Structures are given as C-alpha cells and as structure tokens.
Copies of this chain bind each other. A is one copy, B any other.
Amino acid sequence: MKTYLDCIPCFMRQALSTARLATTDEVKIKNVLNTVGVQVKDIPMHLTPAETGQIVYREVKNVTGVIDPYKSLKKAHIAEAKTLLPELKNMVEQSDDPLLKAVRIAIAGNVIDLGINKTFHLVEDIKKILNQDFAIFDYDSFKQHLGNAENILYLGDNCGESVFDKILIEQLQKPVTFAVRSAPIINDVTLKDAIDSGLDEVARLMESGCVAPGTILSQCTEEFMEVYNNADLIISKGQGNYEGLSEVDRPVFFLLKAKCHVIAKDLGVHEGDIVLKGINIEAE
C-alpha cells in the first residue's frame, strides 16, 4: 500500500506524540517537528506508510537520543494483556468454534496500537470486537489453508496484542514461526517483547530484519525471506504489516481492525471495521 496524502499530517501527529514520550523538553519536541516537517518534501509517496513512518521515529531518536520511547508502555500493555489471559483462554475453550473465537481475540488485541490517534479501553474494546460483524470474512478459506498447512508464518504487530496472538497460535495446532521487528519502533513487538509475552512457549521466534513499523520485504533478512517464501500460510497482524504486504504474491491472511480511514479505504471497508482478509488464496 502506498503512502496517501492523508498520512502526512498523521506523521506529524505521530512525531509529536512519540517525541513527547521521549522527552518533556518542548524545544527538543519542536525540533523533532521541525526536522520531520523539512522532510515532508522528500517523502516518496510510492513507498508504504510504514517506511515513511520509520523516518519519523528515526528523527525522534536523533533529536532526543531516546531509542525506545515506548519501552515502559510496551511492558505495561504486555502485563495488562497477561492479566486477561485466563479469562480469554476460558472463552476459547467454552466456545462452539474455538478457532474463530481465538481469531476474534487476536484481532481484539490489535486495538493496542499507539501509532494511531485513538485512545483505547482494552476490556471494553475486546468485548465489542468479540461480538462485532466482520467487514471481510474469509474464514472458510482460512480454515482450509490452515488444514493443509504444514508450517505457518505469523507476523506480529504490537506489544500486548502479542499476548492475544499466543491464544490464536495455540489454536492453530501447527508449527508456527512468529516474526518480530528487528529494532524498537512505536510499540511493535521485538524479540524481547515476544519472549515477555510468552510466545517462545508456542512458536519459533524470528526477527524479520525490519526496522519499519510493518513488514517491508526489501528490509527483510535472507533467513526471514526463506521462511516467508516457504510458509504454507502467512498470518499478518495489524495495519503496518498490511501496508507492506497488501500487494505481494504470497497467500496472506490479514487479521486487523481498520483503525484509520486511509487503511479502511484501501481495504474497501469502514473505519472501525474488523477484517479477516485473504489474498492469493484461490490458487492454493
């Protein structure tokens, strides 16, 4: 997915909110906005928003010296999500369709997104999503691919959400590689965060090579690309991964909540909708 004009004011907003997490020094915060502002003219609009977003977070690091402004928030969200784990697992076990319940829970976890200009209320939002209709619902195809798959690549998104992913991975009952970013970016899950989320207990963990808040194949390591190219099923969580993979030629199932109108428009759904969308799934 390319960068839309609407993404540009959003980059400035993200620059401000991230800079504020990194420092309380208003001069430094203004300097972040200054440097991002100057770079607007150089934004290649054919690249994905995730790649452009990377510039924003790099400038926060350059100006403030803070490498991981979301560190304590990530830790808090993982801890908060973990407190919900027993109840959520119980819901899955009691369900008539445990796989679908786990899919819904994994999408519900996607509300934890600090790059987005929305506040979220974890428990309330989860309850809502557990009963929300899907705007795109390729569930039959998902089940079919899952049944045939011998190995699965699962692309992680945010911290906290990662705990919810564990529930879905357990339900997949297949060997899963869980891919993470190779450096801290927004509140996206890194290797350390994945371990903190308990994902090492249910999946092989792997850094993708990406330092953008998404899966950008041109940034990925050879090792990751081998897994990517040989996976029978790819599960992609969240907006950033969708931005990088919406036009690839591999079978990918996107699980996400459309949290901004740009992504919603690109998907052909409404803002706030939840989606289980498969691409390149007919030929399988």
Contacts and interface: CB of A to CB of B under 8 A. Distances in A.
Contacts of A16: 5-6, 8-9
Nearest to A10: B9
Contacts of A33: 5, 8, 40
**Is the interface on chain A under 10, 10 to 19, 20 to 34, or 35 or more residues?**
20 to 34
B30 A37 contact: no
**Quick one: which of A8, A26, A33 has the most chain B CB within 10 A?**
A8
B45 A41 contact: no
A153 interface: no
Interface string A86-99: 00000000000000
A221 interface: no
A283 interface: no
**Quick one: which of A15, A16, A30, A37 has the most chain B CB within 10 A?**
A37
Interface in A32-79: 33-34, 36-41, 45
Contacts of A39: 37
A217 interface: no
Contacts of A174: none
A172 interface: no
A270 interface: no
